[in-house]
Amino acid sequence: MMERQIPALANMPTELINRFAARLLPADVRSGQFVDRIGITFTELSIQRIVGEMPVEGNRTPHGRLHGGASVTLAESLGTIGCHLHAGLGRTAVGVDINATHHRAATSGIVTGIATPLHLGRSLASYQVTIVDEEQRKLCTSRITCMIQSA
């Protein structure tokens, strides 16, 4: 399959990538500025690979570990953006399933999520998201499936 490129994103600065990505997020996430609140920044955007980072600081449980819900939020944000990019203009992606397996805890630093497609169909798209710490140790593996429909 030939990867569809978004030429305007090829050499775009991170700040502009983040502004573009924020517009692709579902309205319920965007209206509450949730992604900003937990500190997600996007560093790569294409249909084949979406990368984002998030600080552990501010996203911990009372026990000092990265909150699993924050990991799932990072995974959902990355996977949903990939599904929106795949859907194309005039269509939208709506999440219908997400799951996550937490492999290990992080207590500090920055975590990175990498979303890659599992299936890019006409009506459904699925992404796998792997979240790693700064030493590239796998913290979480998630899968998100979105239904693609007319906007």
Domain ranges across the chain: 7-150
Residue 5: its pLDDT value, please?
A: 46
Query: In which band, very low, low, confident or very high, does the pLDDT at 11 lie, cut at 50, 70 and 90?
Result: low
- DSSP letters spanning 30-58: HHTTHHHHHT-EEEEE-SS-EEEEEESTT
Q: In what order do the strands lie in the sheet with 124-132?
A: 41-45, 50-55, 110-120, 124-132, 138-150, 91-102
Q: CA angle, 57 as apex, 52 and 61 as ends, to 5°?
A: 105
Question: Which pLDDT tens digit goes with each residue over 126-147?
Answer: 999 999 999 999 999 999 999 9
Burial class (CB in 10 A: 0-12, 13-18, 19+), 97: exposed
User: Which fold, 7-150?
Assistant: Thiol Ester Dehydrase; Chain A (3.10.129)
| Mean pLDDT score across all residues of the chain | 85
Question: Which pLDDT tens digit goes with each residue over 105-127?
Answer: 999 999 999 999 999 999 999 99
Question: Which pLDDT tens digit goes with each residue over 64-98?
Answer: 999 999 999 999 999 998 998 888 888 889 999 99
Catalytic residues: 76
